Amino acid sequence: MAQLNIPKFFNNEAELLLAARQECIDIHGSDIRAAGNQVEMAVREWLIRMLPTKVSVGHGHIIDINSDISPQLDCLLCDNKGFSTLFRAKDGTEYTPMDSVYAIGEIKSTFHKSQNYFKTISKNLKFIKSEMSRTLIKNTFTGELANDSLFHHILHSSSSKYLNRLFTFALFINSGDAKKDDLIEIYNNTPDSQLPSIAVFMDKFVIVKADTSEKGMEWHKYPEDAPESARWHIFEMREHAESDAKMEGKHIGVLYYLLVNHINNSLLERPVLNSYLKDLLVGSKSGTTVMNT
């Protein structure tokens, strides 16, 4: 019986992203912005192909019910069943309702320490999580029935404490001049809520918050909800003789796993459109004419 070789599948997917990066370098040379834009497009196209069809993949800004907007984001993963995009500008930039967002991501072709990527990520996450309006939906059923358990939460059967937590990621196709000591310093001096749920340096290692034990490693998708025992870990999924999986394939496989796990355990409420357009829909009685028929 034929079997799917999953490790080789992810190896091939990683090769596609590496090839997209190299093609950009060959075409654009030292034009980092142009090359970076093309790599972002390649990663978004990969996510469109890989993720469930209920997820739309775009880029642009998040907007909340107060009309506050986030900084420009490289990747927006949104609920396709509601309003995945409130509107789209001529250049393709999307303005997405806060309530429709599953995850956000930063995508870079190469990590350059001088660019202070994590400083920008921290600043953006602090604004989105602290200044923008997003009401967390508490999961009323996490395995045991309670008086306030909602039927659609029971049917969804998620283990998450909240059903609309924001998942965040950073993906660097090439690790560039990334060094563990520098990253340890950044993580030790940055609040958990301002760090991505996972940072993937595709050719080198990944960073996640986790608990480790003799049984293995338990990853925590939402750093701010992790238990006190959890710690940030930098780990390399090295190649082994008994597996066909290469490091790059393993690393994007971890990202894929955490994204799909997050999406499957999330339950987003459909945005109330008039909450987002209330400033547009304001009128006055004096400007209204009643027509009798």
Per-residue confidence (pLDDT) for residue 38, from 0 to 100: 85
Mean pLDDT estimate for the chain: 88
* pLDDT score of 98 more than 60: yes
pLDDT digits (tens, 9 = 90+) for 171-188: 999 999 999 999 999 999
Measure Cα distances from 255 to 6, 156, 210, 293 in Å.
Answer: 15, 23, 14, 62
Sign of CA dihedral 24, 76, 249, 173: positive
Alpha carbon distance 200, 174 (integer Å) = 10
Alpha carbon distance 70, 61 (integer Å) = 5
Supply the pTM of this predicted model.
Answer: 0.90
Half-sphere CA count of 7, side-chain side, radius 13 A: 11
Of 197, 20, 185, which is closest to residue 116 (Cα–Cα)?
185
Per-residue confidence (pLDDT) for residue 33, from 0 to 100: 62
Higher pLDDT, 280 or 191: 191
Reported confidence tier of residue 77, pLDDT bands at 50, 70, 90: very high
Amino acid in position 60: G
Reported confidence tier of residue 45, pLDDT bands at 50, 70, 90: very high
Per-residue confidence (pLDDT) for residue 154, from 0 to 100: 80
pLDDT digits (tens, 9 = 90+) for 127-165: 999 999 998 989 887 877 777 888 788 888 888 888 899
Residue 48 is inside which H or E element, if any?
helix 32-50
Per-residue confidence (pLDDT) for residue 266, from 0 to 100: 93
* pLDDT score of 191 more than 80: yes
Q: What's the rounded mean pLDDT across residues 38-65?
A: 94
Read out DSSP for 181-201? HHHHHHHHTS-GGGS-SEEEE
